[in-house]
A = this chain, B = another copy of it.
Amino acid sequence: MNKHIPQSDFKTPEVTTGPLPASRKVYVSGDIYKDIAVPVREIDLHSSAGEPPVPVYDTSGPYTDPAVTIDVEKGLARTRTAWIKERGHVEEYDGREVKPEDNGGASGKHLAREFPIRNRPLRGTGTGPVTQYEFAKAEIITKEMEFVAIRENLGRKQMLDGAEARVEQGESFGAEIPPFITPEFVRDEIARGRAIIPSNINHPEIEPQIIGRNFLVKINANIGNSAVASSVEEEVDKMVWATRWGADNVMDLSTGRNIHNTREWIIRNSPVPIGTVPIYQALEKVNGVAEDLTWEVYRDTLIEQAEQGVDYFTIHAGVRLPYIHLTADRVTGIVSRGGSIMAKWCLAHHRESFLYTNFAEICEIMRRYDVSFSLGDGLRPGSIADANDRAQFAELETLGELTKIAWDHGCQVMIEGPGHVPMHKIKVNMDKQLKTCGEAPFYTLGPLTTDIAPGYDHITSGIGAAMIGWFGTAMLCYVTPKEHLGLPDRDDVKVGVITYKLAAHAADLAKGHPAAQVRDDAVSRARFDFRWEDQFNLALDPETARDYHDQTLPKEAHKVAHFCSMCGPKFCSMKITAEVRDYAAGMSDNEKKDLEKLSQEGMKEMSEKYREMGSELYLEEQAVKKANEGL
């Protein structure tokens, strides 16, 4: 890092804590495992709604639980350690020594402070199952599996009314979403390789979640410092901030110095799985010279990060020597950092990629810690012009081969996907991935559906993300407004997360996830009833919703006003509709039938009846008066 932070100056990262508006965290225990505590956020509605709280998926960890004391210097509770140890087949050991090159040779005032507590790492002994995939194959339901089942049901202990109909009415393109998720369904999906629970045995702080086509669509937020910007404190804050708004996973893409120490602070404080691209750190260890990379440096980096608790590794093992020249005629060549590093290495040595040739050993390492594979798409298109070309699909074929090898070694696997793809070329990406990679979960970056809107690429990519999520992608990697332009700050992280959360939710709705529409319907009822506070509180981003409302109508009284600034008090379609509804509700079936037959003539009686029923509009004064009365 270029920023100079001596140990003594290093401040404890300040993170955002406290519940979201009108929200309480509740914990649901398991049926198989009584001691698991699955977090659900319940949003309380105004008493006038007469509705129960709305349960929503909660990625924010203990930070939003007022009952938990947060101490970033200590990290989160290591709940899963007991789960892992009681299953056996793991051993605690001293672990690898931290070396100067792990932090890019930073020393003295340039070295970021170490995390204060050092835990001895665990690793599999090879005597029995360690990974979730291995347990699933052995027909064992782990605590993680029951945890995610409850979590996917949004706390439901039983099927929703109409859940089956919702699934049927959706269009899931061949996915098999059940109306209610059972632990056994989770186990089966993992055993089939169709879902993963990223959960390194050395990251016991996480609240497990599942990534797969038959589950809620997940999102990932990228954070990480670079050689020219950011600091450890900022990155820890961004991680907590991203999960507060809904990031299911976080990737630490740090480059430059202090990678090791930055990552330790992030992992120890993260309630969500952390992914990395180990080649970034390996490259720093050889001073940024790609051709100096060796299998030994890379292997050592994998172990270093596995011991720290990284939950998934992006491994660009599909960038093979014979594919590299296929990118030469592209408009934007190779845009993946990992892909371009490997391409450079392969050409410099004129050898097959060491990631490809050592893939079996990589599997062995990752299996011991249950690090999941995220097989990287190093040859993904970086422009509309390059979408779906030979290089891209050649790599995808290789990722399919590697998926099967990883499964054979007991590892969990997901597959990364593009990138920049125009709308009409998106679906073929999903179809090919499902076929080629045996339905292993797909994890895509967007895709961006046009190249002409830098500054708005969270939106150009949100369009593609919603679509590919609908088609079957299990996790969407966010894109922030700063994409192509700069490193995202805190505000950009939030905008990126909310954009992807809404894209993922749009996909869940379209796929027919049985519980997804509960929240939309609650917002819509609140909107119709002019329960402004409920509308804000149920929003993905209550703060922004409230702020936008208040810019035009800041008075507290307006929060209960039966109108809004778009139409004003005398002219409100919602209010008129309420009258129409009251009127229609008062009609008998025969009257309704007659209505269809009515001619234009006469009907003064009914007209008068309607007038008597009260066609007067609420005036602003009335609403304000009610507010003052404490309605």
Contact = CB atoms under 8 A, between A and B. Distances in A.
A592 interface: yes
Interface in A285-339: 288, 290-291, 321-322, 324-325, 327-328, 331-337, 339
Nearest to A552: B486
A351 B604 CA distance: 9
A472 to B, nearest CB: 13
A383 interface: yes
Contacts of A485: 545, 548-549, 552, 564
Contact of A570 (B227, B325, B344, B598): B227
A226 B337 contact: no
Contacts of A606: 350
A327 B568 contact: no
B585 A328 contact: yes
Contact of A600 (B357, B470, B571): B357
B539 A455 contact: yes
Contacts of A452: 502, 505, 519-520, 523, 538-540
Interface stretch (A108-116, A184-192, A201-209, A607-615): A607-615
Contact of A350 (B227, B451, B539, B603): B603
Contact of A577 (B333, B503, B507, B525): B333
A268 to B, nearest CB: 26
A450 B228 contact: no
B423 A524 contact: no
A412 to B, nearest CB: 27
Contacts of A336: 573
B422 A509 contact: yes
A328 B610 contact: no
| Copies of this chain, whole number | 2
Q: Is the interface of A mostly helix, strand, loop or mixed?
A: helix
A272 to B, nearest CB: 21
Interface in A524-557: 524-525, 527-528, 535-536, 538-541, 544-545, 547-549, 551-553
B502 A340 contact: no
A138 interface: no
A2 to B, nearest CB: 9
A513 to B, nearest CB: 11
A171 B424 contact: yes
A255 interface: yes
A426 to B, nearest CB: 9
A577 B334 contact: yes
A237 interface: no
A343 interface: yes
A349 B600 CA distance: 9
A84 interface: no
Contact of A385 (B458, B521, B598): B521
A567 interface: yes
A456 interface: yes
Nearest to A482: B548
A512 B510 CA distance: 26
Nearest to A604: B350
A212 interface: no
A61 interface: no
A44 interface: no
Contact of A327 (B548, B580, B587, B592): B580
Nearest to A464: B506
A385 B453 contact: no
Contacts of A340: 573-574, 576-577, 580
Contacts of A350: 598, 603-604, 606-607, 610
Contact of A227 (B489, B569, B584): B569
Contacts of A349: 603, 607
A168 B313 CA distance: 40
Nearest to A378: B573
Contacts of A454: 523, 535-536, 539, 545, 548
B544 A595 contact: no
Contact of A617 (B288, B566, B573): B288
Contact of A466 (B449, B512, B527, B607): B449
A580 B351 contact: no
B226 A384 contact: no
A596 interface: yes
A467 interface: yes
A6 B51 CA distance: 49
Contact of A486 (B467, B470, B502, B564): B564
A271 interface: no
Contacts of A453: 498, 501-502, 505, 539-541
A331 B577 contact: no
A337 B385 contact: no
A420 to B, nearest CB: 8
Contacts of A170: 424
A580 B502 contact: no
A579 interface: yes
Nearest to A505: B450
Contacts of A460: 502, 506
A171 B611 CA distance: 53
Interface string A441-477: 0000000011111111011101100110010000000
A21 to B, nearest CB: 13
Given A423-B507, A454-B548, A486-B565, 6 more contacts: A334-B577, A344-B579, A348-B607, A462-B463, A481-B548, A489-B551
List 10 A-B pairs, minimum CB-CB distance, nearest first.
A227-B568, A333-B577, A350-B603, A328-B584, A383-B524, A486-B552, A455-B544, A423-B510, A340-B573, A340-B576
8 contacts: A291-B615, A321-B595, A327-B581, A344-B576, A347-B580, A450-B502, A456-B540, A459-B462
